[in-house]
Structure 1
Amino acid sequence: MFMAVNVTTDKTYDADTNTGVAVTDFWATWCGPCKMQSPVVEQLADEMGDKVSFTKMDVDENPDTPSKFGIMGIPTLIVKKDGNVVDTLVGYHTKEQIQKTLAQYMA
């Protein structure tokens, strides 16, 4: 079952990530490591999409949310649980690293 990674914006971010465990991939079209991270996030969404919601946000098109979180480097993955930020992963991360991080918040 394929679960898509939903695109979120400054306007929809809070509503998109306030329930359960939610991961947002902050990225940009010009970012090389972001292009490596994206398929990993898509694979995780496919495998874990029934337990975790996955969204992605283009930082160039949506400057307010990354600014609110103080995001200086991309890719950055922000993990929220019930609307609260519980973890931040900066730079490229493997599928296994992300799964290990998420496992802490899914109990």
Structure 2
Amino acid sequence: MANVLNNGNFDSEISNGVVVIDFFATWCGPCKMLAPVFDELSNEMNGTAKFFKVDIDESADLARKYFVSSVPTIMIFKDGKAVETMVGFIPKENLEAKIKAHL
């Protein structure tokens, strides 16, 4: 399962390599559908990309900083820079292909 980041540790965790962030909310139905897909990819791609989650209600500053207005929003960072943003539920194969494109 992916660790949850907050304002205190976000920047240090995304600074190196390919990092996939799931901006979510506990009350969001599509977020709950995406969670097992995200966790599976996190386990399968361990060592090639890092996976984290950000609760937009707990870390509203991060959500504003990255213009997250709908959840789930998946962002891919490469060496600290956002390189891809996807909104809504994403099938596992599609998400995996997007991540691999940035490795």
Shorter-chain TM range is over 0.9
| 1:32 equivalent in structure 2 | 29
For residues 70-92 of structure 1, the C-alpha deviation after alignment (integer angstroms, 9 at most, x for no partner) is 11100000100000100001000
Q: Which ranges of structure 1 fall in alignment gaps of 5 or more residues?
A: none
Q: Under a length normalisation based on structure 2, what TM-score does the superposition of the two structures give? A: 0.97
Query: RMSD value over aligned CA atoms?
Result: 0.7
CA distance in 2, matches of 1:99, 1:65: 24
| 2:81 equivalent in structure 1 | 84
For residues 28-59 of structure 1, the C-alpha deviation after alignment (integer angstroms, 9 at most, x for no partner) is 11000000011100000000011000000110
**Aligned runs of 1:65-80 on 2, under 5 Å?**
65-80=62-77
Using the TM superposition, give the Cα deviation of residue 9 of structure 1 relative to its aligned residue in structure 2, in angstroms: 0.4
Alignment equivalent of 1:13, drawn from 10, 14, 17: 10
Identity of aligned residues (%): 39
| 2:90 equivalent in structure 1 | 93
Using the TM superposition, give the Cα deviation of residue 6 of structure 1 relative to its aligned residue in structure 2, in angstroms: 1.4
Alignment equivalent of 1:58, drawn from 49, 55, 79: 55
Q: Under a length normalisation based on structure 1, what TM-score does the superposition of the two structures give? A: 0.93
The AA in structure 2 aligned to 1:67 is R
Using the TM superposition, give the Cα deviation of residue 23 of structure 1 relative to its aligned residue in structure 2, in angstroms: 0.4
Using the TM superposition, give the Cα deviation of residue 11 of structure 1 relative to its aligned residue in structure 2, in angstroms: 1.5
Q: Which ranges of structure 2 fall in alignment gaps of 5 or more residues?
A: none
CA distance in 1, matches of 2:50, 2:76: 10
**What's the secondary structure of 1:77's corresponding residue?**
strand
Number of residues of Structure 1 aligned to a counterpart in Structure 2: 103
**What's the secondary structure of 1:23's corresponding residue?**
strand
